[in-house]
Structure 1
């Protein structure tokens, strides 16, 4: 029976801050070999569609779990979409403005960010994010928002973003940069993966996932075989069945060879 394999991007397929801005040749070959044997390969990422660069698009994936599971796409069809409550979006945006927090609102295709948010733009430039689907002029009441990302510059703004964790919403926080990702607890990479497996009628024991970060924990512990990258934190590795090498050493290719193509 066919297998379905899911790949995180940052820290797994790419390491933009350390020079890996495209999937390496060895990893590409391993992924293509999976497809050549009739298996499905998917991206599972916190990124929105707007942040998928040409290298990812050209790699020939069978679909995408985007925005931490809020948008799920198989081939050219979105099989699931779940945007944030519009009143909540309005509330947090008002507070982002109040606390001087730079933010981006991530939609299905386009994402929305003000031109004056220079620090946030510089951060995305460092990660080689494309600009094609970034819009600076928008009406908040007319867009659907699936996830937000925020850059905080002082303790009061950090404290506000930390307060957003509740029964409905969760976040990833990079304390070194003051950077947050805010998303609904009802969606995750794991829920997106389960929707794809159901859609394709693939049993969970035939599913695999590669990841390295906090927002990969659920998918690593949900799929039949979760494979943590060697560069993952130890607490993330604890949720995986297998551990491969680092992104810098073609860990995805090694994991495919050792744990899937056997």
Structure 2
């Protein structure tokens, strides 16, 4: 019976620093497990357009993106959910009232708000995109404005009481630390993405594996019986069934070896 492995990206497949290293052992391990007949999936909070070619070229059978709001398998989109545009525009107006810095994430691009305060986090975010050649021209005034999920940075003037009260009605608010929040429509997560994929492909949960390195991976890790923490990610050690070595010490390869996936 073939198995299926769900991978986080940053800190799991790629070092989470300016070097953005993908270890050669990781490349080899993913190739070997696929040759063995196992399926490999990205499971990321990133929306689909923001999965870099460097990651895609590792070789994946499918992608769960935007915290379960988009699912692709074998080049075919199995599921995609974008928030209705009227609701998107209402949220954009609310974010202005909350005086936060939003980035609206769609499966095909990002949208920015020039009327929002400019947080330092946004500056860094946009610099990375410019360096990567990613289009940052999308604005909330555009006719095609819409999003699947969104993130915000707070400032000292932000009204977080209003934000939590109103956004909490329809979104899971994930505190990523440092005044940065990821907001995902209720009913969607890395875990619901896994559930949809397993049902679609007819794979038993017993043959599902997930590998991550941070607290935002917990829904994915807790959704499967075979959960793996990257070495050095001490904060999630209590929640996983196996702890592998750090990413640059053959972490992915050693995890797949441990579970006889290569």
Sort the TM-score into its range (normalised by shorter chain): 0.7 to 0.9
State the distance in 1 between where 2:215 and 2:131 align: 21
* 1:104 alignment counterpart: 103
1:203 Cα deviation from its structure 2 partner: 1.0
1:145 to 138, 144, 147: 147
Check 1:121–1:209 CA distance in 2 against 1; reply closer, same or farther (3 A cut): same
Check 1:18–1:141 CA distance in 2 against 1; reply closer, same or farther (3 A cut): closer
Which is further off, 121-130 or 26-35? 121-130
State the distance in 1 between where 2:241 and 2:166 align: 32
State the distance in 1 between where 2:211 and 2:240 align: 9
* 1:154 alignment counterpart: 156
Check 1:133–1:208 CA distance in 2 against 1; reply closer, same or farther (3 A cut): farther
1:65 Cα deviation from its structure 2 partner: 0.4
Equivalent pair of 1:108/1:144 in contact (CA under 8 Å): no
Return 5+ residue gaps in structure 2 as ranges.
none
* 1:70 alignment counterpart: 69
State the distance in 1 between where 2:234 and 2:222 align: 15
Could you state the TM-score of these two structures normalised by the residue count of structure 2?
0.86
State the distance in 2 between where 1:52 and 1:157 align: 32
Return 5+ residue gaps in structure 1 as ranges.
none
Equivalent pair of 1:172/1:182 in contact (CA under 8 Å): yes
State the distance in 2 between where 1:78 and 1:217 align: 25
Check 1:220–1:31 CA distance in 2 against 1; reply closer, same or farther (3 A cut): same
Which is further off, 243-252 or 30-39? 243-252
Could you state the TM-score of these two structures normalised by the residue count of structure 1?
0.86
Instruction: Let me know the Cα RMSD of the aligned residues.
Output: 2.6
1:201 Cα deviation from its structure 2 partner: 1.4
Structure 1 position 228 matched with structure 2 position 244: no
Check 1:141–1:237 CA distance in 2 against 1; reply closer, same or farther (3 A cut): farther
1:244 Cα deviation from its structure 2 partner: 1.3
Check 1:91–1:138 CA distance in 2 against 1; reply closer, same or farther (3 A cut): closer
Equivalent pair of 1:50/1:130 in contact (CA under 8 Å): no
State the distance in 2 between where 1:91 and 1:132 align: 26
1:86 Cα deviation from its structure 2 partner: 4.1
Check 1:174–1:83 CA distance in 2 against 1; reply closer, same or farther (3 A cut): same
1:126 Cα deviation from its structure 2 partner: 4.8
* 1:83 alignment counterpart: 82
What SS does the corresponding residue of 1:222 show, helix, strand or coil? coil
What SS does the corresponding residue of 1:69 show, helix, strand or coil? coil
Can you list the C-alpha shifts for 1:137-193, whole angstroms capped at 9, x where unaligned?
Answer: 4646634311101122225345554445635311222332x2111111201111111
1:238 Cα deviation from its structure 2 partner: 2.2
